[in-house]
Structure formats: C-alpha cells, structure tokens
Structure 1
C-alpha cells in the first residue's frame, strides 16, 4: 500500500488485495511527461487498469508518488478500501493521534483527543471528551485522499452521492434526539441554514434566553441571524453541531478568542464573510471537482 509520509502510524497495514483505482476525476494527460495530471498514470496504464493482473497494478501504484512529486500534484487518492478506511477512522479516535475538522469555510468545528486524555468510548467510532464528541460512519463509495504527502487526510464522496443542500434560513429543529451524550437530548437545536451540500451546522442550547432569541429569528436568512444573534451564540451557552456524510461532530467548548486560545483548545468559527465566500472546505485544501469533501483529518506532528 502507498502510505504518505506523516501518517505511517495511522495508515492501515499493507494488504495483498487488488489496488483501488487512483483516479481523482482529473483526467488530463501532461504532454511533456505523458502522465495524467490527476492520478499520474500513463494513458496505457489507465486503459488496462480494470483488466491488468494485481501484481502489475501494485507495481504501478508504487511509482505513482514519485510521478506526483514530479508533476507537483498535491492531492492523491489513497489505496484504501472500505475496511482500511474504517480501520483508519477507529485509530484516529485515540489520544494524541490528531484532529478532525468538520464544516465549511467560516463555519467549522474541530475535535481532538489530547495525548493524556481519557475519552468516554461509546463504541469503536463514537467517543466523547469534555470539549466535544465525534460519531463517525462509513457511507458507501467513501474515498480517502492525502494532501501534500500526508499533511491532511480528506474523506470525500463522489459529488453525485451528496444529499440535496440544506436551506438558507434558520430552522428550529427541536430537541436534539441524535445527541451523543444522553443528557443533551432535551436541548433545543437550531440549524443555521448555510445552504451547503457538504455540511449542516447547528447550535444547541438549554439556555432559555438564547432559545427565545433564536426562535424569534426562525425563517430568517443566516446573514441576519449572525448579524443579530451571532454575539449571543458566541458568548452564550451553545454547543455547535456539524453533520456531514461521514458523521456528527459536537463542540462543547466555548468560543475562544485567537489571542488567548491554547494549542489544545478545539477551534470553532462562525465568520459571515468567509461563509459568504462559499468554499466547501476550511483552510487551503482543494479537492478535484468530481469529489465533495466530508471531513478532514490532520495527523499529530
């Protein structure tokens, strides 16, 4: 298996199974090198992939990292099948492994388990800490991509597998029956309505004053909601809930100003200007257009 640098301790063990296709949906042959600008295979290698013997596919897979480096390709599909992706997910939900990021640019949350922290384990793919919780799932056709040789791992789906985008107004969703902690299931959740097909963002609170303020704004566009109640959300007792195709993230820690935030603090953002920009991923990572991002994992350094 092709393991990018920086995630060797998290990657599933090598397998004798047939390699998966490295296609990223960018199908353009570089005229100088003869390699595809998306997957770094030659046109002949692409043509024979579905019928070539496994040993030949492994030999091709082994040379792709060097070719990608030659072409300056920053993102590559990992040679992981469904079982290996599931194993990777389980391994990340352990102390000191790294941090998950769910959401869109301007509206996202982070979850990490500190090196000395003892999380509450609900099951193999669901854990909770004092700062937040994660519930991961494995949808059909999920793909794993490595960005810049393991700087980040992106979980993505073919764009056609996404659900229709959420609405663009505040929606009172009622008690959060899907909450990971049982004690949060009577708190009221409000979807902020950013209209994204890749992530739905909610705030959840038991604070009656904040509940009333948000109920008064139900049906209003998210721009007005953040303008009129954004400060109340940031300063009040409100959890942030982010749902994507690969699961649920809950952030319990309060919003922290950048100048006083500690490195271990989970970061969360609600920035109207960035949200309005419409980028599907926070940070500098971009996926090929054929794929939609579901989550990003940053391995611990």
Structure 2
C-alpha cells in the first residue's frame, strides 16, 4: 500500500467514524440492523436518559434498548433515497463487502453462553441464544436470565425456530427476552416487551421477524440501491422532513431536507446523485439497464416528489402512516 493510499484509507475511516458519532449524538436519528425480513430498530426520545458505552465501542444505551457499533475497515456508508407513492424514504445504509459480511449462518436454535459483548455490563451474565434464522449478515438472537425462559429456549435448541412443535415460537411474546441482533459492524439490543401479533409496534426500540419475507433469502429490499459487491448490515435513519419516526405526517421541515441532501452528496452513489440533480435542473437523467435503470428512475421520482414539497404544494397522504421498506417493513 502506498503512502497516499494509506492516508486516503485512514481519512475515509475517520470520516465514517465521524458520521457514526454525529448520528449517535442526534436523538432524532434512528438506527436499524438486520436483513430482509428480520430487523432491529433503535431510537430514543429527545431528553430520554442514556449512557454512553464504557468499553470503547461507539454507541449508547437507554432503558429501552442499545446500539453498539464496531466499525471495521471496509465499512461503506451509502446514502440513498427511494420513491414511494407521492413521497420518498431516505437512509444511509452501512455496507460491507460481500466477502466480509458473513455471520454464523446457523440454521437451528443454538445456546451461545453468557453475552460478554452486551452493551450494558449488567447484561453480560445473561445467556444468549442464536435463533438460527440462517441469515447472511446478521445473527438474530435473544437473551434471557429467567429460569422458565431459559428452560423453554433450551428445550427448543438444536431445532429450527419455525419447526412444528418447537416450543420457543409460541412462547416468545410471554417470555419477553431481550432481542439482540449482531453483525460484523456491531449490534442493536431491544429490551422493550414484544407486542402480540395483532398489536402495534412500540414507539421506541423494537424488532420485526417476518417469516414470509425471510423465505425470499434477500439481504435487502429490491428498491434499495446497494452497490454491486456490497451487503447492507444496518442503516442510519436521519430525521425525515415530512414524517416522524413512526411514519406519521408532519409539516415539511426544510432543515431536515437540506441536512440529508448534504449526506447524499457526501455518501451517495455518484451516478444516482447526478441523476437526481439532473432531474432537479429539468434535464432527463441518463438511464442504464435493468436494476440500474430502476434506481435512476427512482432518484428522478424522489426529486419530483421533493420539488412538490419545496414549492409548498399540499401533497395528499397515502394513509395515516407511510411504510419504510428499509426499516420495520424490511
């Protein structure tokens, strides 16, 4: 490695670390970690008490959950926007090269022992179980100390979670274990209770495991423009200009829009950013083929949707809330 290349690598790693620190400091930014069909989300309220991690990892913990980040060489943030209905979603995907993202890939429930890497020191004697979902870039785990919960988890160990007769699945809601999603770049932990199947997601840290989506075997939604050769392990979800963290509509906030445009210029795919800027200037963006053309057209549609908001137009709502395919709806 030449000196110039080394300096460039060091500078990029410092910029990535700065991005993560700034996002952690902002209570209006949410985090997710997971895969298509299984995702953990962490967020906190302004003014909510939190503690920084004491072991050198980037992150923080509240009474409801925690995020602990271990950025490694090769971590690539990818800022993007995806058009949806009359609006758009945005995020900064945290990606690793395909060769570097793999986790255990276990296919059966497996007891892993005390969770020594827990975000909070008080949780490090609790027992961690991999639920054996066989995902590429994330291990979906639960953590427990209650004797009855441990007995149930051990009774189902060595078998697929969704196998008929496995006692774990039907007992998870009542058991209420901590959920721990682990990737090469870190982990998200959720301490809040699991809502019943017909209940609403809590307005705070929570998880989704959706068997129908898991069967697709994807690492991310088809609409998410992840660069070839990379896999998203998690994402930063900066404050959105027209909706809150739950997807409910709010008055358009220009400052939030401008803040994400700066992230897009810094961390976005240059071709897609150029296509969007061309659309904003009234020019037709250059198109490619296949998925690439779909992403370019998505950038154009996002620009058109944003233009309506920036002109102060009244944009009809699709519903009470708007889904985000890169978060709870995976």
Give the TM-score range, shorter chain: 0.5 to 0.7
For residues 37-186 of structure 1, the aligned pairs below 5 Å read 81-123=12-54, 125-148=58-81, 151-163=90-102, 165-186=104-125
Question: Structure 1 residue 185: deviation in Å?
Answer: 1.4
Q: Which TM-score applies when normalising by structure 1? A: 0.67
Q: Which TM-score applies when normalising by structure 2? A: 0.62
Measured in 1, the distance between the counterparts of 2:28 and 2:184 equals 22
Q: Which runs of 4+ in 1 moved over 6 A?
A: none
Report the CA distance shift for 1:259/1:170 in structure 2 as closer, same or farther (over 3 A).
closer
The answer (yes or no) to whether the contact 1:280–1:293 under 8 Å persists in 2 is yes
**1:43-100: per-residue Cα shift (whole Å, max 9, x none)?**
xxxxxxxxxxxxxxxxxxxxxxxxxxxxxxxxxxxxx821111011011112423111
Comparing both structures, which one devotes a greater share of its residues to helix?
2
CA RMSD of aligned residues (A): 2.8
Question: Structure 1 residue 171: deviation in Å?
Answer: 0.6
Partner residue in 1 for 2:146: 207
Report the CA distance shift for 1:281/1:220 in structure 2 as closer, same or farther (over 3 A).
same
The answer (yes or no) to whether the contact 2:103–2:139 under 8 Å persists in 1 is no
Report the CA distance shift for 1:170/1:154 in structure 2 as closer, same or farther (over 3 A).
same
SS of equivalent residue, structure 2 residue 153: helix
Mind listing any 5+ residue stretches in structure 1 that lack a counterpart? 1-16, 22-79
Matched, 1:280 2:213: no
Measured in 2, the distance between the counterparts of 1:105 and 1:299 equals 20
**1:120-145: per-residue Cα shift (whole Å, max 9, x none)?**
11257121001101111111111110
Partner residue in 1 for 2:204: 265
Report the CA distance shift for 1:286/1:225 in structure 2 as closer, same or farther (over 3 A).
farther
**1:7-38: per-residue Cα shift (whole Å, max 9, x none)?**
xxxxxxxxxx9xx89xxxxxxxxxxxxxxxxx
The answer (yes or no) to whether the contact 2:94–2:232 under 8 Å persists in 1 is yes
The answer (yes or no) to whether the contact 1:95–1:116 under 8 Å persists in 2 is no
Partner residue in 2 for 1:296: 235
**1:195-222: per-residue Cα shift (whole Å, max 9, x none)?**
2221011100112112111111211123
Q: How many residues align?
A: 226
Measured in 2, the distance between the counterparts of 1:295 and 1:243 equals 10
Question: Structure 1 residue 166: deviation in Å?
Answer: 1.8
